[in-house]
Amino acid sequence: MTYLMSAVLGFVQGVAEFLPISSSGHLTLFQHFFGMEEPDNLFNILLHFATLLAVCIYYFQDVVEMIVEFFRGVASLFSRDPSHGNPPEARRLVLLIIVGTLPLFLVLPFESKVEAFGSNPIFVCCALLVTGCILFFSDRMNQGRKTARNATLVDVLLVGVVQGFATIPGLSRSGCTISAGMARGFERKFAVRYSFLMSLPAVLGATLLKVIKTVQAAEPLPEGALPKYLLGMVIGGVVGYFAIGLVNLLASKGKFGAFAYYCWAAGLVFLILTLMGWTLVPAA
């Protein structure tokens, strides 16, 4: 892997992980049409860890408050005099994220089958077109008012089910979950905030599974790879941080659906190229 390739992969990860355009779908298409090599397991782990840090830094106050309230909530369960009344917003947000993450456990047995869809560029292109349709209608939903204080467990459970479906390559996780939140009446900024905070346990869990597989495989680190890996990681984290800000800005202005036109264009162009048997790199 070259420094340029590391930088490109970091940029793609940072942009596509948070913008509603499907990072897995873009990786598949880039590999098929541009001959971009698939990153090895360790580099893939570092890229996902970088985007995980981007969310933690952007929502630093939320993350700290949720950690504190999680332990306070656990302590109150064993207290002889547990506090009554409405729990703090951060504590309730922890509960909402836990419930929203539960449907992902139903996807785990089918993980390999779901990942297999990513090897089919026609399927990925069609999924991108579907993502575009979801985004297009998201802006046409009525402005919701639900936040962490009044969103229900049913609301977040349904958003979590959508997140499970969005593991399909070509479907954008952020696009689907933010749109699902809006459909359930979430206030737009809260829909974005909840989607990205809900990604933390999902990305952390997926990263830990990859770490276990990498350790079991005992893959050696390629010589001179560390600085290249760090370059991709830094670029992915920085670009991801600003991508989160862009999504928040566009969602608050009711322009979240603007990404639909990109998904339609990319999906349609690459679908036509695939059906015609074209690639943008010569065959080996």
Residue 281 domain-assigned (yes or no)? no
Residue 64 domain-assigned (yes or no)? yes
Q: Which letter, b or e, does each residue of 7-24 get, where b requires 16 or more Cβ atoms within 10 Å of its Cβ? A: bbbbbbbbbbbbbbbbbb
Residue 239 domain-assigned (yes or no)? yes
Taking residues 131-146, report their average pLDDT. 90
Residue 190 reports pLDDT greater than 50: yes
10-44 tens-digit pLDDT: 998 899 889 999 988 888 888 778 777 667 777 88
Residue 78 domain-assigned (yes or no)? no
Q: How sure is the predictor about 280, in pLDDT bands with cuts at 50, 70 and 90?
A: low
147-166 tens-digit pLDDT: 999 999 999 999 999 999 99
Number of domains in the chain: 1
Using a 10 angstrom Cβ sphere, with 0-12 exposed, 13-18 middle and 19 or more buried, the burial of residue 79 is exposed
Q: Report the distance separating Cα 19 and Cα 81, nearest Å.
A: 45
Contact 22, 127 (CB under 8 A): yes
Amino acid at 73: G
In this prediction, residue 284 carries a pLDDT of 44
* Between 143 and 59, residue with greater pLDDT: 59
| Whole-prediction pTM | 0.89
Residue 77 domain-assigned (yes or no)? no
Q: Which two tokens stand for residue 5?
A: 């390739």
Mean pLDDT, all residues of the chain: 87
Residue 228 reports pLDDT greater than 70: yes
Domain ranges, residue 30 = 3-71+88-275
Q: Report the distance separating Cα 10 and Cα 233, nearest Å.
A: 6
Residue 280 domain-assigned (yes or no)? no
Residue 137 domain-assigned (yes or no)? yes
Q: Report the distance separating Cα 155 and Cα 274, nearest Å.
A: 38
Residue 150 domain-assigned (yes or no)? yes
82-125 tens-digit pLDDT: 555 678 899 999 999 999 999 999 988 888 888 888 888 999 99
Cα distances (angstroms) measured from residue 135 to each of 28, 88, 182, 218, 262: 21, 32, 11, 41, 10
